């Protein structure tokens, strides 16, 4: 109940701060530029599969900014626990992005419905897409100054960079490296790239909505597990650190 | 009476910068304890440790007999140093949210919110956005939110910091009324006046520890030196008054007692009344609390003179109001010395190395 109240408190403050105008403008822009033309379901989910993560970047950053202020001491001095505080920010941002997605879907359904997209199909595409939004929001929260101190944030960013590096260190550079280094690098890339697979496959699943194989269900479960892990890790780290808000 | 706050050998450092170094402290139920200390001494750090925002490196901290501080928050009211609240809300809805976070609902929530708005004098401004509030109003809101759930313990961090004199007086009066409610209060400040007016006991935090502690009622008894401002004194009366003791110094319009005592003060006042001299004012030149604070801080901190590469002797100059010992060079120190010393004293307060400590 407190989580719900705190999320409401954060959302209301966000709305009153006027930052929501950015989301509204972006929403209108995407609708009028990309979603007014004749389209099919694949195109619709491709557009929203790119737009919603971009919106998540902005919205989650804004919510982290709202949370990382000395005002937080007054809230944490009351019954709002550290876990509730962090989850309230997370759910606040996700509500805004999911709301934007919902509005775009409604507008599209009402004004320019894709020929091959029924409600059931929309639900099947929405599930992995919303999980991806949540995953990105959770990752951004974990990388915020609230959760990890600077040193640890750099370590996590380094690991993410390494996970993505297979695209950049795949050709001549990899060949030029000594065998031992190359083996270690490949192993690390495979290991660290693992958690990225559900997110990428989730995007593909939203576009294709092909749930005929067990892999699709497994991927949904993997996305959900990864989300719970990221949030759990963030709450654990936040609960154990000295709380010194930025801009004191 | 049981101890509400028990702190034993508490250590806290920010990285390699030590802030608290073996601090021990006890506050009994119903007591109003004032913690004095220069900027950066670690007063806010101590409050944040009590609130569970920070974790100690070493030592034991118990509130209401428990080391699980976060579970004790329901019994604590906290007034932060800076008046930073969520300015997108008005006072009434903000207090309602905070009450809900503390588990209040329905009629009880409504009644408490209205009660506190009235108590702090914000009822008429309750519908105004907090962004339009003055610092004094925000500090009153701070008091209201802290008292919303009838806490057993109030932790107050620099309540008058950044307020103008009128705002300071307003907040002190408000806190004095809070005192009447019988809460245990732990007040951090660097204003001696607040402690004198509000507290039962005072501790001076310097060098990361409690460097001095005293009951304020003992400190209030008699000032160590006083000045009595009077109507012009004739030479005969001056001589008569000066003969009352070695610490009596008469000038045309004032009598200075240093060192002072209750008996000496009474004798001088009686003599002045007998001589039909009008007494305009009696003011302490340095209160015992001021002396306690100065000596505790002076003993534990490096002199600002040393910190600025000045000769240590400069630090030993008397504070304003303190009688200057004669020097071999010119027989007495001039006003410039006192001014220099005042500036050095101010340096101590303003440029303490710990001032930049986060959260301190």
Residue B251 inside a domain? The answer is: yes
Chain A contact for B75 (CB, 8 A cutoff): no
CATH number of the domain at B280, please: 3.30.70
**B171, part of any domain:** yes
Which of B78, B84, B145 has its CB closest to that of A70? B84
- Mean pLDDT over A159-182 rounds to 75
- The Cα B176–Cα B295 span in angstroms is 27
Answer yes or no: do B123 and B60 share one domain.
yes
pLDDT over 50 at B308, yes or no? no
B19 and B140 inside one domain: yes
- Bridge partner residues of B227 (DSSP): B256, B283
Q: How many angstroms away from the CA of A53 is the closest CA of chain B?
A: 28
**Is the minimum CB–CB distance between B101 and chain A shorter than 8 Å?**
yes
pLDDT at B290: 81
Q: Averaged over B212-239, what is the pLDDT?
A: 83
Q: Compare all CA atoms of chain B with the CA of A246 and give the residue at the minimum distance.
A: B358
Do residues A94 and A52 lie in contact, with contact meaning Cβ atoms separated by under 8 Å?
no
In which residue are the tokens 């009629």 written? Answer: B107
Cα B94 to Cα B127: distance, rounded to the nearest angstrom: 10
Q: B199 and B322: one domain?
A: no
Nearest to B88 among A13, A70, A77 (CB): A13
pLDDT at A80: 86
Whether B119 has a pLDDT exceeding 90, the answer reads no
Q: Which of A174-183, B238-247, B306-315 has the highest mean pLDDT?
A: B238-247
Q: Do residue A5 and residue B358 have CB atoms under 8 angstroms apart?
A: no
Nearest-neighbour CA in chain B from A142: distance (Å): 19
CB contacts under 8 A, A 65-84 vs B, are 69-71, 73-81
Q: Do B70 and A243 touch (CB under 8 A)?
A: no
Cβ contact, residue pair A73, B78, below 8 Å: yes
Which residues from chain A sit within 8 angstroms of residue B88, using beta carbons? 12-13, 16-17
Angstrom distance (rounded) from CA A106 to CA A96: 15
User: What does the pLDDT read at residue B130?
Assistant: 92
Mean pLDDT confidence for B250-276: 88
A215 touches chain B (CB under 8 A): no
> pLDDT by residue (tens digit) across B136-176?
889 889 989 998 988 999 999 988 887 788 888 888 888 88
pLDDT at B254 over 60: yes
Cβ separation B78–A70 shorter than 8 A: no
Q: Is the pLDDT of residue B337 over 80?
A: no
Q: How far is A156 from chain B (nearest CA, A)?
A: 21
For residue B195, give its domain range: 3-219
In this structure, the answer to whether residues B195 and B340 fall within a common structural domain is: no
Average pLDDT over residues B6-19: 92
**C-alpha span between A56 and A48 (Å, rounded):** 12
Residue B295 lies inside a defined structural domain of this protein: no
Q: What are A177-207's pLDDT values in tens digits? A: 788 888 888 888 888 877 788 888 889 898 8
Could B53 and A80 be called an inter-chain contact, meaning their C-beta atoms sit closer than 8 Å? no
Q: Is A248 on the interface with B (CB under 8 A)?
A: yes
- Structure token pair of residue A202: 């989730």
Tell me what the mean pLDDT of segment A79-94 comes to: 93
Residues of chain A with Cβ-Cβ distance to B70 below 8 Å are 81
User: Of B219, B237, B264, which marks where a domain is finished?
Assistant: B219
Residue B78 is assigned to a structural domain of this protein: yes
pLDDT tens-digit readout, A118-141: 899 999 999 999 999 999 999 999
Residue B294 forms part of a structural domain: no
* Percent of chain B clearing pLDDT 90 (strictly above): 34
Q: Rounded to an integer, what distance in angstroms lies between the CA atom of residue B337 and that of residue B171? A: 36
Look at residue B108 and tell me whether its pLDDT is greater than 50: yes
Asked if residue B292 is part of any domain, the answer here is: no
For chain A, say whether B102 makes contact (Cβ under 8 Å).
yes
User: Which is more confident, B7 or B296?
Assistant: B7
How many separate domains does chain B show?
Answer: 3
Q: Is residue B130 part of a domain?
A: yes
Picking from B219, B241, B258, the residue at the C-terminal end of a domain is: B219
Of A136, A115, A163, nearest to A49 by C-alpha is A136
What does residue A145 show for φ and ψ, rounded to 5 degrees?
Answer: -65, -15
- Comparing CB atoms, the residue among A6, A12, A244 nearest residue B101 is A6
A81 to B70: CB separation less than 8 angstroms, yes or no: yes
CA distance B243 to chain A (A): 58
**The pLDDT of residue B357 is above 60:** no
| Residue B295 pLDDT | 83
Instruction: Give me A152's structure tokens.
Output: 């640890």
The reply to whether B138 and B44 lie within a common domain is yes
Tell me, yes or no, if A16 comes closer than 8 A to chain B by beta carbon.
Answer: yes
Q: Which of A102-106, B266-270, B316-320 has the lowest mean pLDDT?
A: B316-320
ipTM surpasses 0.90: no
B20-59 tens-digit pLDDT: 999 999 999 889 999 998 888 899 999 999 999 999 999 9
Q: Among B102-106, B178-182, B203-207, which is the least confidently predicted range?
A: B178-182
Q: Across the interface, which of A5, A71, A81 has its CB nearest the CB of B84? A: A71
Contact A130, A101 (CB under 8 A): yes
Question: Is B88's CB within 8 Å of A17's CB?
Answer: yes
- Provide the pLDDT for residue A157: 85
% residues pLDDT > 70 (chain B)? 82
Domain boundary among B200, B219, B238: B219
* Best mutation target, B90, B97, B158, to test chain A (most A CBs within 10 A): B97
Q: Are residues B99 and B45 in the same domain?
A: yes
One domain for residues B185 and B313: no
Q: Chain B closest CA to A146's CA: distance in Å?
A: 13
Structure tokens at B253: 């319009």
Q: What is the mean pLDDT of residues A219-230?
A: 94
B86–A contact, CB cutoff 8 A: yes
User: How many CB contacts within 8 angstroms connect chain A with chain B?
Assistant: 67
Mutation choice for A interface testing from B82, B86, B132, B151 by most A CBs within 10 A: B86
CA B50 – CA B154 distance, rounded (Å): 11
Which residues of chain B lie closer than 8 angstroms to A75, CB-CB? 98, 101
Please, what is the average pLDDT of chain A?
Answer: 89
* CB-based contact B189:B36 (threshold 8 Å): yes
CB within 8 Å: B359 and A73: no
Same domain, B58 and B190: yes
Percent with pLDDT over 70 in chain A: 96
Q: Chain B partners of A70 at a C-beta cutoff of 8 Å?
A: 80, 82, 84
For the cut 90, the answer to whether the pLDDT of residue A59 exceeds it is yes
**What would the pLDDT profile of A21-36 be if each residue is shown by its tens digit?**
999 999 999 999 999 8
Q: Does the beta-carbon distance from A2 to B51 stay under 8 Å?
A: no
Q: Say yes or no: B19 and B110 in one domain.
A: yes
pLDDT band at B70 (very low <50, low <70, confident <90, very high): confident
Q: Are residues B198 and B68 in the same domain?
A: yes
Q: Does residue B232 sit within a domain?
A: yes
Phi, psi (rounded to 5 degrees) for A94: -65, -35
Are B76 and A77 an interchain contact pair (Cβ–Cβ within 8 Å)?
yes
Whether residues B212 and B184 share a domain: the answer is yes
Q: Where are the alpha helices (DSSP H) in A72-118?
A: 72-76, 82-111
Minimal Cβ distance to B51: which of A9, A12, A77? A77
Looking at the fold, whether B329 and B281 belong to one and the same domain comes out as no
Q: Say if residues A238 and A214 touch (Cβ distance below 8 Å).
A: no
Domain with B202 in it: what CATH number? 3.40.50.300
* Contact (CB, 8 A) for B154 and B184: yes
- The CA-CA-CA angle for residues A114, A119, A120, to 5°, reads 120
pLDDT confidence tier of residue A2, bands split at 50, 70 and 90: confident
Q: How far is B146 from chain A (nearest CA, A)?
A: 9
């Amino acid at each position: 109940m407190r989580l719900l109240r705190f999320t409401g408190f954060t959302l209301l403050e966000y709305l009153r701060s006027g930052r929501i105008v950015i989301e509204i403008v972006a929403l209108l822009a995407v609708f009028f530029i990309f979603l007014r033309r004749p389209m099919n379901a694949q195109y619709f989910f491709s557009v929203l599969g790119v737009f919603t993560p971009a919106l998540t970047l902005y919205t989650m950053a804004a919510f982290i900014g709202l949370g990382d202020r000395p005002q937080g001491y007054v809230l944490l001095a009351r019954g709002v626990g550290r876990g509730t505080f962090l989850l309230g920010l997370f759910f606040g941002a996700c509500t805004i992005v999911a709301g934007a997605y919902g509005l775009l879907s409604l507008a599209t359904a009402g004004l320019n419905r894709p020929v091959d997209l029924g409600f059931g199909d929309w639900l099947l595409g929405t599930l992995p897409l919303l999980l991806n939004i949540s995953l990105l929001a959770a990752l951004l929260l974990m990388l915020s100054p609230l959760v990890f101190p600077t040193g640890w944030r750099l370590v996590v960013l380094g690991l993410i960079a390494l996970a993505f590096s297979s695209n950049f260190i795949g050709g001549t550079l990899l060949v030029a490296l000594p065998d031992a280094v190359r083996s270690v690098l490949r192993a690390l890339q495979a290991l660290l790239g693992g958690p990225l697979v559900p997110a990428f496959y989730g995007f593909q699943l939203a576009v294709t909505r092909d749930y005929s194989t067990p892999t699709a269900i497994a991927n949904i479960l993997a996305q959900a597990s990864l989300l719970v892990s990221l949030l759990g890790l963030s709450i654990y780290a936040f609960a154990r650190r000295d709380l010194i808000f930025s801009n004191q | 009476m049981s101890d509400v706050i028990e702190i034993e050998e508490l250590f806290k450092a920010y990285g390699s910068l030590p802030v608290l170094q073996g601090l021990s402290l006890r506050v009994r139920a119903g007591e109003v304890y004032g913690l004095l200390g220069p900027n950066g001494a670690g007063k806010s750090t101590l409050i944040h440790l009590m609130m569970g925002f920070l974790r100690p490196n070493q030592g034991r901290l118990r509130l209401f007999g428990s080391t699980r501080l976060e579970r004790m928050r329901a019994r604590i009211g906290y007034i932060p140093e800076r008046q930073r609240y969520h300015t997108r809300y008005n006072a009434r809805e903000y207090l309602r949210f905070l009450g809900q976070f503390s588990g209040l609902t329905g009629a009880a929530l409504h009644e408490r919110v209205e009660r506190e708005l009235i108590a702090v004098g914000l009822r008429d401004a309750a519908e105004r956005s907090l962004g339009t509030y003055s610092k004094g109003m925000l500090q009153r809101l701070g008091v209201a939110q802290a008292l919303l759930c009838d806490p057993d313990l109030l932790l107050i961090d620099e309540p008058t910091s950044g307020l103008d004199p009128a705002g300071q007086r307003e907040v002190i009066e408000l806190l004095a009324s809070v005192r009447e409610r019988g809460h245990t209060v732990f007040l951090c400040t660097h204003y001696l006046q607040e402690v004198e007016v509000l507290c039962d006991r005072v501790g001076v935090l310097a060098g990361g520890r409690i460097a001095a502690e005293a009951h304020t009622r003992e400190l209030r008894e008699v000032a160590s030196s006083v000045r009595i401002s009077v109507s012009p004194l004739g030479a005969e009366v001056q001589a008569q008054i000066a003969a009352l003791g070695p610490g009596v110094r008469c000038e045309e319009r004032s009598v200075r007692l240093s060192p002072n005592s209750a008996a000496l003060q009474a004798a001088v006042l009686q003599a002045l009344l007998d001589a039909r001299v009008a007494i305009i004012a009696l003011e302490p030149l340095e209160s015992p609390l001021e002396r306690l604070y100065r000596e505790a801080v002076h003993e534990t901190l490096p002199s600002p003179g040393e910190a600025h590469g000045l000769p240590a002797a400069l630090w030993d100059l008397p504070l304003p109001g303190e009688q200057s010992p004669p020097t071999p060079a010119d027989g007495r120190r001039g006003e410039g010395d006192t001014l220099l010393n005042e500036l050095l004293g101010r340096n101590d307060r303003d440029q303490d190395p710990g001032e930049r400590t986060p959260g301190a």
